[in-house]
A and B are shown apart, each in its own frame.
Chain A
Amino acid sequence: MKINAIGIISASYKTEDFGILTNKRPVASLPFAGRYRLIDFPISNMANSGITTVGIVTPHYYRSILDHVGIGKPWGLARNTGGLFMLPGTIYGTREVGSRFLLKDLMRNRIFLERASEDYVIFTDSSKIMNFDMRPLIKAHAESGLDITMLYVKTNNQKGGQYLTIDETSGEVTNLTDSDKATENRFLDCFVTSKEFLLNLIDWYRSRSTMDLTDIFKLNIRRYSIGSYEYKDYVGIISDVNDFMKVNRDMLKDDIRKELFGNAERPIITKVLDAPPTLYEPTADVSNSLISSGCIIEGTVENSIIFRNVRVMPGAVVKDAIVMQHVTVEKDAYIENMICDKYVNVSEGVRLKGGRGGPLIAGKGEQL
């Protein structure tokens, strides 16, 4: 069913918390769970919710986004009416680190908003792993008559992000803070507003274009009517390398994997790369691992996420690791608590192990 909303996905924010993994790629195109990229989740959620016009605000290094998303064909967004739009973002410097919904980006792409015939706009970032039916949220917002409705999740794990103070009786947001021990309502960097409100906002704040939309909400918390909507299902929030490791490892749990990927009505879709099945040689010893296609496994793999076309040679051990596309772990090598980016080669007999502070990371193409 078509829905009266368009979507905007922010892929433009920059963060330093992923080390070399985000050196040449935005957080949005971080590879995830063996065959996906983070941005697959917001695009799939929008497409599965019947949204047929989706804009992606591009980051500085957007080659990998364009390569992955293309014209949106896998998501059914290569359309004559609506479809997928790339909205060139403006954040290049470090000043706006952490900014997600920059007003300037909307101003530059105002025509995208003006041309849409839909009345509502749903915004998301691209660092939340969730299978989210957005229709009830959009419906609730439309029925409420409020200016904005913000999505949040209750969590006691406060790290980064913004938090909502919510009036118990009205459900309206009375404060928006960076970190607040008084509330466990973490904003999920997702909100709904009307196109009309948004266009007004662009006009009102024309001279302060480097502000983030959420800053503007905060500044006007008493003036605007801002509702809240609680998300109750699984959500993996990825704000640094340790989160990335943890949320990937969450995918080894049957219930979470089924909730995210087992929903026939709302499949998480990604760009297809046609690879053969994975070959397990007689010497393979694999347990508790998520393994993508096209791999050749001759060694040991434990508690790990293995992407496409990875080779684990005889005697090699891969433990508690994330191993991305086209990595080779040579004979008798040993890696533990480690992330290998694409095309890494771990040479014969090399032993590597991450520390207590977090995983060891090998950058794209490194020869170890």
Chain B
Amino acid sequence: MRKKECIAMLLAGGQGTRLGLLTQGNAKPAVSFGGKYRIIDFSLSNCVNSGIDTVGVLVQYRPMILNKYLGTGEAWDLDSADGGVHVLPPYATQTGGSWYEGTADAIYHNIDFIDNYDPGYVVILSGDHLYKMDYNLMLQEHKANNADLTISVMEVPWEEASRFGILTANDEGRVVKFSEKPKEPDSNLASMGIYIFSWPVLKQALIEDHEDQSSEKDFGKNIIPKLLKEEKRIFTYKFKGYWKDVGTIQSYFDAHMDLLVDDPEFDIFDNKFKIFSNSNMYPPHMIGPEGKAVDSLICNGATINGTVEHSVIGLGVTIDEDAYVKDSVLLPDVHVCRGAKVERAVINEGSVIAERSSVGSSDGDVVLV
């Protein structure tokens, strides 16, 4: 095996309970997004666009759809013999088996996997964020700082800082304090949950943390505070650009509406930083003789015989005659029957909206069906 400079470990085992129905039978990273993508596409595409060709995907909660979707990794050009994408579920050993108990525990159990590539650096990612980032730039800073750990941060409005994990840095950008959801924040640099570790430092910290019975085996709660205490060189990397955690129905809905504004900040049409997805075999979509679509994104395989306004319409969706869809997100294979009305709603994969029924309203909260 050739030595890799940097590999990525993508945490994809979370349940994402705040997404309700969407994650009932499906892991959060495998939830459909933007009509044809799945949330994990954004992190995977970042890896590929950053030249990282080895990605371990840590799965645990309902991984079937995710496994199938990742396949051989071909869709992201990650089907290489020397690296590629690897699905890493919990496994048993001579002493029994256990679930991944926390984010750090998941990585701990795959130390062998990482050692196999003998990397200098490991990027730790979440599979549920929407952003475009070149991890290489972050790695360059990590190396220039001779850092043990670099944490990607964003400036958030001061009044919102108490909702995030906040990092306080000195003039050099070296982290002096980490506070999870502080009541009185002294910094507005929020952690994005994207870490680059020098592998020997991380490996040792994981082994020590594993021995610590009181630890919750979590990066934010345990590993980072531990390294801070040991006065390891921890630096921030300031990211500017679009970043969204799509962990709640409202933020998931808002992120879709962000795609529909003029010159969206998160541009899926940008060829220089392409978003890859495991595409499908649907024919092009059909706008029928009476169909109408404006101010919307529409995917292959859709058949539009009704009216669509300001919405995202997923793969294989059918909208019958006299049906009306406005300000909504329709996931793949939804069927809106004749005369039905959908407004400000997120409709889960494969749902059928009955004839002449009505879902959502123009002024209420976003409805999930």
Residues of A in contact with B (beta carbons under 8 Å apart)? 33-36, 73, 251-252, 254, 257, 260-261, 267-270, 272-274, 276-294, 296, 301, 305-307
A287 to B303, CA, bound (A): 12
11 sampled A-B residue pairs with Cβ under 8 A: A272-B281, A276-B275, A277-B35, A277-B313, A279-B269, A280-B295, A280-B298, A287-B290, A289-B286, A289-B287, A291-B286
**Could you tell me how many residues of chain B have their Cβ less than 8 Å away from some Cβ of chain A?**
36
Find out whether the CB atom of B294 lies under 8 angstroms from the CB atom of A34.
no
Cβ-neighbour of B297 out of A251, A279, A288, A289 (below 8 A): A279
Find out whether the CB atom of B293 lies under 8 angstroms from the CB atom of A284.
yes
Known contacts: A277-B34, A277-B35, A279-B269. The answer to whether A257 contacts B312 by CB under 8 A is no
Nearest residue in B to A35 (C-beta to C-beta)?
B284
Q: What chain B residues lie within 8 Å of A305 (beta carbons)?
A: 284
Q: What chain B residues lie within 8 Å of A273 (beta carbons)?
A: 279
A283 to B295, CA, bound (A): 8
Find out whether the CB atom of A286 lies under 8 angstroms from the CB atom of B269.
no
Nearest residue in A to B311 (C-beta to C-beta)?
A280
Known contacts: A267-B281, A279-B297, A292-B300. The answer to whether A286 contacts B75 by CB under 8 A is no
B237 within 8 A of A: no
Cβ-neighbour of B285 out of A252, A272, A291, A296 (below 8 A): A291
B49 within 8 A of A: no
Nearest CB on B from A81, distance (A): 19
Find out whether the CB atom of A286 lies under 8 angstroms from the CB atom of B287.
yes
Sample of 19 further A-B pairs with CB below 8 A, known A254-B303, A289-B287: A35-B283, A252-B286, A260-B283, A267-B281, A268-B281, A272-B281, A274-B75, A276-B34, A277-B35, A277-B300, A278-B298, A279-B296, A279-B297, A280-B293, A280-B294, A285-B292, A287-B287, A290-B285, A292-B300
Cβ-neighbour of B284 out of A34, A267, A276, A284 (below 8 A): A34
Nearest CB on A from B325, distance (A): 12
A306 to B286, CA, bound (A): 10
Cβ-neighbour of A278 out of B275, B285, B294 (below 8 A): B285
Interface of B is mostly: loop
B64 within 8 A of A: no
Nearest residue in B to A276 (C-beta to C-beta)?
B268
Q: What chain A residues lie within 8 Å of B285 (beta carbons)?
A: 278, 290-292
B288 within 8 A of A: yes
Known contacts: A272-B279, A276-B275. The answer to whether A290 contacts B294 by CB under 8 A is no
Q: What chain A residues lie within 8 Å of B295 (beta carbons)?
A: 280-282, 284
Q: What chain B residues lie within 8 Å of A252 (beta carbons)?
A: 286
Find out whether the CB atom of B284 lies under 8 angstroms from the CB atom of A293.
yes
A185 to B113, CA, bound (A): 64
A302 to B288, CA, bound (A): 10
A318 to B124, CA, bound (A): 48
Known contacts: A267-B281, A272-B279. The answer to whether A277 contacts B287 by CB under 8 A is no
A366 to B279, CA, bound (A): 30
A305 to B291, CA, bound (A): 15
Q: Which of A252, A269, A276, A283 has the most CB of B within 10 A?
A: A276
Q: What chain B residues lie within 8 Å of A294 (beta carbons)?
A: 269
Q: Which of B36, B284, B291, B313 has the most CB of A within 10 A?
A: B284
A277 to B297, CA, bound (A): 6
B121 within 8 A of A: no
Nearest CB on A from B191, distance (A): 30
B55 within 8 A of A: no
Q: What chain B residues lie within 8 Å of A277 (beta carbons)?
A: 34-36, 268, 297-300, 312-313
- Closest 10 CB pairs between A and B? A34-B284, A292-B284, A261-B283, A276-B268, A277-B297, A288-B289, A272-B279, A277-B299, A282-B295, A280-B293
